[in-house]
Each structure stands twice: as structure tokens, then as C-alpha cells.
Structure 1
Amino acid sequence: MGAGPVATQSNGAHAPNYEKFLDPKRQWYNNRRIITLHAWIVLLLITSSVNGFDGSLMNSFQSLGTWEKYFHTPQGSTLGLLNAIQNIGSLAAYPFAPYLTDGIGRRLTIWIGAAIMLVGVALQTAAQNLNMFIGARFCIGFGLTFATNAAPLLVTEIAYPRYRAQLTSLYNSLWYSGNIVASWTTFGTQYIGNTWSWRIPSVMQGLPSLFQFFLVLLAPESPRWLIAKGREQEGLKVLAYYHADGDDQDPLVQYEFEEIKAAIQLDRDSAKNIGWKSLVTTKGNRRRMIIIVAIAWFSQWSGNGLVSYYLSKVFDTIGITNQTIQLLITGILAIWNLFWAVLASFLVERLGRRLLFLTSAAGMLVFFTLQTICSARFAITQDTAAAHAVIAFIFLFYAFYDIAFTPLIVSYTVEILPFSLRAKGFNVFNFTVSVALVFNQYVNPIALQNIAWKYYIVYVCWIAFEFVFLYFMIVETKNLALEEIAALFDGENLQEHITHPTEVRADEKDFNEKASA
């Protein structure tokens, strides 16, 4: 792309090294073991649905008369606390999440998170007052941190190499699946004239966690985690069972096994790769953390926070106050978002991360600027056409947001982090997201109440800065395996350490004979 010194280090255009070991007959639709693996991965992907469910839930509740009446129409800082308390709960769990993920394993950490969230969902459904509702949301956020710290790591570490990038990108894209269920459930329950209009959607929030509570311990554990814990044969068995129909001598399995062992051994041999300090001790790691913290903050501070949690307040500023219309637009927007996010997830290896990020930022800047102009026009002239244009520009803004800042922020974060730093670095990502959300959720309602559309100008300037940052900092990782990506940040010296036995590098004839057997 020719953007700067960081970007030009990318060599993601070439075919990945593992490509020569892939059996062309082994596809996602015709191999029973890969189909089973993808079923387990779906169980992990729905972790994101819980988070998306909550984002839409609070938006929908603010358009629901029975909820507003029951809790005495929260406003200003109280409303900010209601929206922010889940993320405050998440913040409270961050000091513990990476130690559980690395210590007891990915699966058990997800199970603990699911169990805590089920308790929170039960309390929220049974809430009798505002304090009980707030406490329940804190509990949901606390459990969510454990699940969201471990689930995407497990997805990216067990996925079949050919589908790793797409599946990991789908993780955050399925945020909108929860968003859709919450939006349309609340759209239907609005006609219930009692508290079940909001208690039923609250119950629905627990469904993904319920599935994980009963099933996730039966899923495969990360082979990288098993190998790092000295359980090499178990790790090899997982790779063989799901990636090669149980053949532990398959060229692909041997390639993955040796590459993982070499990368983990390299981390162990280097004292600088131990502990939290290692996140910033090397030039490569500092670059990683700058990018990770930036995209985490951008993901919540690009104007989307206004729509995700305060869409009803945005509607009020443009004169759309009807409850049914507000809920209908919220539900349609959720479906629109899911479409674009999933589409982008399947294109990440074809188009590349860098192109998607830059296109996303440019499109957001254009349409958020137009949204600001039309909001100002409505505020000054009460022109209904301007109000309708705002809705159209919100949809177009989100189409561009969704092609990068929904699918890529999680997948890009976990793939640029080496195994030894993955849980801790991803925890920093989640922490930054929560801080940005808490800040947004306190500031946005107050700013909207006091300066209305003028607040949008702040985001216009910020999105312009995002584009410049992404242009110079995003490194292309297209068509690279997890262990290979490290060389983009740590230099070519690392590549010399990640070598593979001669017997793994089977010649084409031997491989074709084995593949056809």
C-alpha cells in the first residue's frame, strides 16, 4: 500500500507457508471433523452475542415506556451509570481474566464467565428496583470479561488454518446477532402492558451463556495452551483429530505442531517475554500495543457510541419520538449491521486488513460529517427531510464502520500478539474498550442534553485523526499464519528461530500421495 515505514514491512501478499501442506480435498463443507470443529467454534463465537445483546437492550429499554415508568425515567448521570455499569463490572474483572485464561485454560475460563453471567441475568430479570438492576448489570459485565478474554483466543488457536482469519473476524461480527435478538424481542414485547415487557428480553440475554455453561467444557482445548503447559501429546492429538482426521503424521499437523513448539520455546528462552512488562520492553511489542490500544479506543469513539447506546436520544434531537418507530429502526439497523460485518469477515483474506481499515475510516468520516450537517439543519429549520437524511446517513455510516471496526478489531488484535502475550495483550484491548465505553456512556447523554448536534463536531475531527493514524500504523497480515505474523513486528531475526524439521517439509510428490490416500 506504500503508506509508511510500518506498513511497508508487510509481506502478507504471498501465499502462507502452511498452504503447501493443506489437503485440497479437505474443505469446510465435506470433512466431518472440520464441520464438528466449526460447530464448537460457533459455541465460542456466541460469546460476543451477549455483549451485543446488552448494547441493544439498553437502547431498546430507553424507548420502552413500561421500563422508563418502572425505573422513574432515568436521565443524565443516572442513565449514564445504567449504561456504563456493565463495563464497570468488566473493568473489575480485568486484573484476573488473563491469569485464568493462561492458568486454567481457555475452556474453563469461558465456563466460569458463563456461570457468573447467568447469575447476573437472573438478578436483572427479577430486579425490583434500580439498585438491583444496576447490580445485576455489574455482575453480567464481571462474568463477560472472563468469557470474552478466552473465547476469541480459543477460536483463533483451534481453527483450521485456511479459515482462521474469517472465523476470528466473525467473533466480533456476531455482536450484532445478540443486537438483533434484543431489538426484535423488545419490539415484540412493547405491547405487553406490564414489567414482562422488559423482563422477557432480560431472560433472553442468558441463552448464549446457558449453552456455554452446559457444553463448553466438552469443546477442544487450545493446542497452543496444551503444548505451552508441557502436554504436547494432547496438543498434537487435538491438531490431528480436527485438522487431519486423526493422522498425527499428516504434513499440516506436523508443520503446525513444530511451529507452535518453536515459537513457545523462543518465548521461554527470552526473559523479556515474561510478565506484563514484556508488553512494552521491545520495539515490536510497543508497536503492537500502540496499535491495539488505538483501535480499541477508535472502536468506541468513532461516533458509534451515540447510536449504540443512545439512539433514542439521537432520535429525539431530530424529532422522531414515536416508540414503535424508534424500536423498528433499531431492529432494522441491527440486521443491516450484521450483514456488512459478516460480509467483511469473509473478505479479510482477500482484501486485507489495511484496505478494510482505511476504507472504513474514510467512509465514516464522510457520512458522519453529512449526519452532522443534516442534524444541524433540522435543529435550525425543523426540516423533516433533514431528519430523514440523518437516519439514512446513520445507516451508511454503520456500513463503513462494520467493514473494519466490527470484524477486525478482535481478530487483528489476537493475531498480531504472540502466544506468550496473547491473553495479557487482549486483556489490555478489552480494558481499553471498557474505559472508552464508560467515558462515552457518562459523557454522551450529558453532551447531547446540553449541546445536541454540536457534539457531533467533536467526532468528525476525531475520525479524521483516526484515518491518519491507521494510514501510517496498520500492518498488513493477510495470508500469514499466527506464528509467521510475529516477524512483521519483531524483525527477520525471529524468522530464523521458527524453523521446521526437514521431515515436515515433505516434497510435493509425497504430500500429494498422502493427500490422495
Structure 2
Amino acid sequence: MRRTPTGTWLPAWVPQSTTNLSALLLFCSMVNSATSGYDGSMLNGLNILPSYTDYFKLTPATTGLNTASIFIGSILGPFVAGIIADRLGRRPAIFWGTVITIIGVVLQAAAQNIAMFVVARVILGFGSQISGVAAGVYLSETFPSRWRAWGVGLLNNFYYIGALIAAGITLGTGEWQSTWAWRAPSLFQGIFSLLCIFILPFVPESPRWLVHRGLFEEARTVVAQTNSNGNLTNPVAIAVYKEILDTIEFEKKDGRSMSPLEIVRTPVARKRVLIGMSAGPFSCIAGNIIASYYLGAELDTAGVTDTRDQLKANVVLNVWCLLCALTGTHLAANWGRKPTAMLSQSLLIVCLFVIGGLSKIYADDPERASQSLVYGDVAVMFLFQGFYSLAWTPLLFLYPPEVMNYSIRANGLAFSAFGLSALALLLVFVMPIGIANIGWRMYMINGSWDIIVLILIAVFWVETKGKTLEEIDAIFEGHKHSSVPDVELVRKGVATVDVDLVQGAMRDEKPIR
């Protein structure tokens, strides 16, 4: 471990081994995503538990309010998340967001009525959005490009680890005849936030943030730690650092600021933000809201009404989705982000129409519906969630920061999170009412708008696989803003870097601070 300057109040003791540091960054990614995954699955379980629904005397409307209230905080969080990440640093932003999340968790577990429960979930959503946006930006800027798909993809993949833990806990506490049947799962949610705080002192600050703040030697040290076991003169580390230095220097000379308004200042910025932020709304309207928060109601429409069976289905579903998310991350890393999204979206459309059709058959005559019809409907529901996880789980946090350049990255990702949360607030509130009133037709409506999303992805999305964040500039601006060869070409030995020449040039240049 080596004490590494961070440019912030939060110190860091960082492993010199790139492999060990990457493992810590992965762990940081995992615990961040587990928090949100735990919440979704926990509410799935709670909405099935009589001890929870009876305690709050829930109706379809108040069920939607209790569940959707986290998205009120999630809508408010992005308004400050990007600003905090840019001004305080990526790691301090994660820290403060996590502290706020813990406060929300404690209040949620102690809730005495619907109002207190809702306020707690608003606070929880606010904090988790600050830490989530900061973590997305931080990991995309810190992971070496060759591992970025896995490093940032896991930021959402481990949603299902948290979900699986929550499903197991609610399955275990579901037999308790007291309010602790739902309070204990609520309280346990804070474990992931505590783990996140524990890991922060052992990972460095984002090298891009350090360069932008004028802390050049500190940034170069971090680049070497994350790419070459701390070797400052390694050609790959030199190429990565020079790209960062030149690109951020170009953005400063071009007059690009860190203001939230920068995301709409130029046509290129608007294009990058619209393409990048689309991952949030697209993933939200894909149709997973039903199974993510109202699995019980979805299984009711398919004929599975026993509470214990529904809780077991919740556990199995999360194992299946985790496996699919990991498969999707592999596809995104090796096949590409855009093809993976199009494959996933196409499969979702098919599943939604099949689910809608089978649910209609059951709804028309539930007394005479065959057991094979019930099992078939549930099987397609499970396939749907798995196909959703192929693309949207890893791409939700991976794709937006890749598409956006440094000056708009934090605020652009915050805007993406806002779009996701605003739609989620509406859909999570509306879905139980819609299912109760129009049943199977909700699936048909969802499948129809998914077709539109597929067309938009095919026409407007760009491919970012195999490129550093700085090299992606060439897709939108015609060329990258550094003269060094592309990093992957250097890593593979296809291109070379004259280390002495580049170091001499960096000494002679006087970057803007």
C-alpha cells in the first residue's frame, strides 16, 4: 500500500499492484450496486408480506406511494449529484451520498406510519443517487479501458446480488409474526453503504478529475497505478496520461466549463447527452418495473397466488438475472454495446407480447386454466427479466459516461439518472393500478413502445467498445485531441510510444490550471 495524494480531504492508501487495485475498484462497484438491488427486491418481498401490508393498511395507491417514494429522492438527487462530484471530487461525493443513504435506511426501518416511511425512502433515494452518479463517473474515469466494461458494468450487475440477499432475508423473516418481518430487512440495507465507506480510503481519486484540478503529478501516479503497477514510464501509462492531459487541456482552451448548462451549450454536447442519457429512460420503460417491484401482482395474473411460492420465485428470479447480467457484460465487452442493446431489446418485445397473450388466456377463464399455461406464463416472465438483464443492467451505468466528454460527464450522467428516476416514479406508481384495472393489456402497451426504443437505438446509438474515454471524442468531433497512438494499439504492440519524447513534451508544455 502506498499513500497517494487525492487533492481532497479524503486520504488514500493504494495498492501498487494494478490487479489488486482493480479488485478493490470492482468491490467498490459491487457494494454500490448492491444497495439499489437490495431495495428493489426488498420492496418486492415486503409487498408480498401481510405483516407489512397490514401494518400500513395499504391500498393499491398507497402501495405505489410507499414503493415509488424512493424515486422522489432519486429525482432530486441528480440536481446536485453532478455538481458535488465535480467540485468536491468523485470519492467525497460517493462518501456523502452514502452517509445520506444510511440516514434514510435507519428512518425507514424505524417507520411508524406511511408518512415516515415515505420520507425515509425519499432521503434514501436522494443519497443513493448522489453516490450512484459519482460512482458511475468515478469508475468510468479510473478503470483502465480494457477492463472498463466489466468494472463499470458490475456497478449495476450486482444489483442482483443485493436483490438476492434481500429476497433471501424477506423469505426468512416472512414467517415472523411481528413488524420485524419487514423492519429487519429494511435495516440490513445499510450494510452495503457501510462497506462502501470502508473501501473508499483504499482507492485513488479519478485521474481525470485530478488533471482538471491541476494536480498533474498526482494524476500521473494514479494512471500508473491503474495501468502499469505504478510504473510511471510504462508506454501504456504514458499514452493514457497524455491522452487525458491533452483532451482536458483542449476542453479548457475551447471554453468548456463544468457548469450544468454545458450539457446544452453546443450541438455536439446536446447530441452526446441525448444519446448517453437515453440509456436511463430506455431501461426504465423496457417493462422490468413490473417484476422488479410488483412481482407478486405479476404472478397473480399468471395464477401463482401463494405467498410462499411468490417469495421463492423472487429468490430464483434474482439468481437467473445475475447470470444473464454477467453474460450481457461479456457480450458488451467483446461484441459491443450497441449490438448487445439491440439483441436484448428485440427479445424483450417478443416476451412482452407472449406474456400479454398468455395472461389474457388465464384472465378469460382462470378456473379452467391449465397448469401448463400457468407455468408457461411464469417461465416467459423469467425469460423476460433475464433478457432485460443482458443489456440494460450493465449498460445503464456503463454507456452514458462513455459517450459524454469530461466537461459534461458528471452532469450528463446526473441528467440520465434524473430521466430514469422521473419515469420510474411515474411507472412504479402507475403499474399496480394499471395491472389491477387492465391486467394483461399493460404488457401489450409496454411491448409497443419497446419497438420504438429498438428503432431509436439502431439509428442513433454509437459504438464505444475498445476505446478510452478520450478516443470516443473522435466519433462525435471527427478526431481525438491527442497525438499519441490509441491506447489499445500500444498495449497490443501494434503502435509504439517514444517515452522520452512524450515526457519531454509534457515538461515543456504549460497546461492550463
1:256-295 Cα shifts (integer Å, max 9, x gaps): 1110011101111112555333323333322222223432
Deviation at 1:388, TM superposition (A): 1.9
Does the alignment pair 1:160 with 2:147? no
Partner of 2:230: 246
How many pairs were matched up? 479
Contact preservation (8 Å) 2:17, 2:225: no
1:397-437 Cα shifts (integer Å, max 9, x gaps): 12221111111121011111111111010000100010010
Contact preservation (8 Å) 2:45, 2:170: yes
387, 391, 406: which is aligned to 1:404?
Answer: 391
Q: Distance in 2 between matches of 1:393 and 1:512?
A: 56
Q: Distance in 1 between matches of 2:77 and 2:120?
A: 15
Deviation at 1:319, TM superposition (A): 2.6
Spell out the pairing of 1:175-186 with structure 2 (5 A cutoff). 175-186=159-170
1:135-176 Cα shifts (integer Å, max 9, x gaps): 211111111111001112111212123211221112111111
> CA 1:508 to 1:454, structure 2 compared with 1: closer, same or farther past 3 Å?
closer
Query: Which stretch has the larger CA shift, 31-40 or 432-441?
Result: 31-40
Name the amino acid aligned to 2:455. Answer: V
1:368-416 Cα shifts (integer Å, max 9, x gaps): 1100000000001221332222111111112221111111121011111
SS at the partner of 1:396? helix
Scaled by the length of structure 1, what TM-score is found?
0.88
Name the amino acid aligned to 1:433. Answer: L
173, 188, 207: which is aligned to 1:223?
Answer: 207
Spell out the pairing of 1:66-465 with structure 2 (5 A cutoff). 66-72=51-57, 74-272=58-256, 274-382=258-366, 383-384=369-370, 385-465=372-452
Deviation at 1:505, TM superposition (A): 7.7
Q: Distance in 2 between matches of 1:463 and 1:508?
A: 42
Moved over 6 A (4+): 504-514
Partner of 2:482: 498
SS at the partner of 1:192? coil
Name the amino acid aligned to 1:482. Answer: L
Contact preservation (8 Å) 2:269, 2:408: no
Contact preservation (8 Å) 1:90, 1:141: yes
Q: Distance in 2 between matches of 1:284 and 1:173?
A: 30
Partner of 2:503: none
1:307-342 Cα shifts (integer Å, max 9, x gaps): 111111112223322110000001100110011001
Q: Distance in 1 between matches of 2:76 and 2:386?
A: 33
* Structure 2, gaps ≥5 residues long: 1-15, 501-513
Name the amino acid aligned to 2:407. Answer: S
Q: Distance in 2 between matches of 1:510 and 1:292?
A: 32
1:163-213 Cα shifts (integer Å, max 9, x gaps): 112211121111111111111110111122211211211122111101122
Deviation at 1:455, TM superposition (A): 2.0
Give aligned-pair identity as a percent. 31
> CA 1:248 to 1:320, structure 2 compared with 1: closer, same or farther past 3 Å?
same
Q: Distance in 2 between matches of 1:206 and 1:320?
A: 32
Q: Distance in 2 between matches of 1:508 and 1:420?
A: 31
Contact preservation (8 Å) 2:111, 2:117: yes
Q: Distance in 2 between matches of 1:509 and 1:92?
A: 46
Q: Distance in 1 between matches of 2:467 and 2:485?
A: 20
Deviation at 1:44, TM superposition (A): 3.2
> CA 1:185 to 1:238, structure 2 compared with 1: closer, same or farther past 3 Å?
same
Contact preservation (8 Å) 2:277, 2:412: no
Q: Distance in 1 between matches of 2:455 and 2:226?
A: 42
Deviation at 1:41, TM superposition (A): 3.1
Contact preservation (8 Å) 1:56, 1:308: yes
> CA 1:328 to 1:268, structure 2 compared with 1: closer, same or farther past 3 Å?
same
Q: Distance in 2 between matches of 1:45 and 1:106?
A: 17
Q: Distance in 1 between matches of 2:271 and 2:49?
A: 45
Contact preservation (8 Å) 1:111, 1:217: no
Q: Distance in 2 between matches of 1:463 and 1:200?
A: 37
Contact preservation (8 Å) 1:166, 1:347: no
RMSD: 2.3
Does the alignment pair 1:39 with 2:47? no
Contact preservation (8 Å) 2:485, 2:495: no
Scaled by the length of structure 2, what TM-score is found?
0.89
SS at the partner of 1:480? coil
